[in-house]
Amino acid sequence: MILSRAEPRLVESLRGAVSDSTAPILEFFSHPTASFATLIEDFDAVMDVHEINTQLEKRNAVLLKWQATAERMVHENEELRRLLKVVPDPKAQFITARVISDSGGPFVRTVLINAGESDKVRKGQAVIASEGLIGRIVSAGQHSARILLLTDLNSRVPVVVESSRERAILTGDNTGRPRLEFLAVNARVGIGDRIVTSGQGGLFPPGLDVGVVSVVDEERVLVRPYVNWDRLELVSVLDYTLPGSLPETKRAGRIGVLQ
């Protein structure tokens, strides 16, 4: 203390010398600590990457397994088709048309579209909207055609209950809720069940959306169609022909006549 007061410059010089001499020693001892902390961080990072890689490898193994299963099923399906000589489903082409007239009356539910025989539209073809099946073509002129709607009294469409695969005929009765007929006695049908076309008869492609069951009682099963009849504007006429089916014979003078 006395020396500090007497010779401050000398004291500062001594402190500097001591610091200079001890700095290398302190630096030497500090390096292992810093290196150890860095090593811990690097180890944690490596462990994280390893865990991620392990998870990715597991997921990749699962995906490869499903891929192999899918490829095997496709191969088996092709083999079965060859063995059974299964005829592949025909691909449905379509013509888009606009609804230009609604001639629905108390006994007839039809609409007119601006596509006809010149556009390859012909009698019997199924017609759909974005929501589902509308009906079928009942007559065609050169540039227009008439669609019989699902709700018409004369409409009959082979359908199936999607969940139970129960087959039936959707029959129009000039109301907004066509009914299911010819169901099996113990058919499993419930409110909310989806109804789709069955494809029986080859007139309609299978699997077209029709509607949902809205009423089930002892006397009837009613279906609410998906289509909003008040908003029909654009429709698609499906060109769906089963392989080997005979073309319809055209008689002179019947073009454009309602049949």
Name the fold adopted by 93-239.
Thrombin, subunit H (2.40.10)
Please say if the pLDDT value at position 252 is more than 50: no
pLDDT band at 9 (very low <50, low <70, confident <90, very high): low
Q: Most confidently modeled of 38-42, 84-88, 230-234, 254-258? A: 230-234
Please say if the pLDDT value at position 143 is more than 90: yes
The residue count of the chain comes to 259
Distances (CA, A) of 22 to 35, 151, 157, 184: 20, 100, 99, 100
**Do residues 113 and 147 make contact, with C-beta atoms less than 8 angstroms apart?**
yes
Q: Does the model's pTM come out above 0.75?
A: no
How is the chain split into domains, by residue range? 9-84, 93-239
Please say if the pLDDT value at position 125 is more than 70: yes
- The whole-angstrom distance between residue 235's C-alpha and the CA centroid of its chain comes to 20
Percent of the chain having pLDDT more than 90? 42
pLDDT in tens, 153-197: 999 999 999 999 999 999 999 999 999 999 998 889 999 999 999
Q: How far apart are CA 194 and CA 214, in angstroms?
A: 10
Q: Which residue has the tokens 């811990």?
A: 40
Q: How many Cβ atoms are within 10 Å of 213's Cβ, its own excluded?
A: 19
The rounded mean pLDDT for the chain is: 78
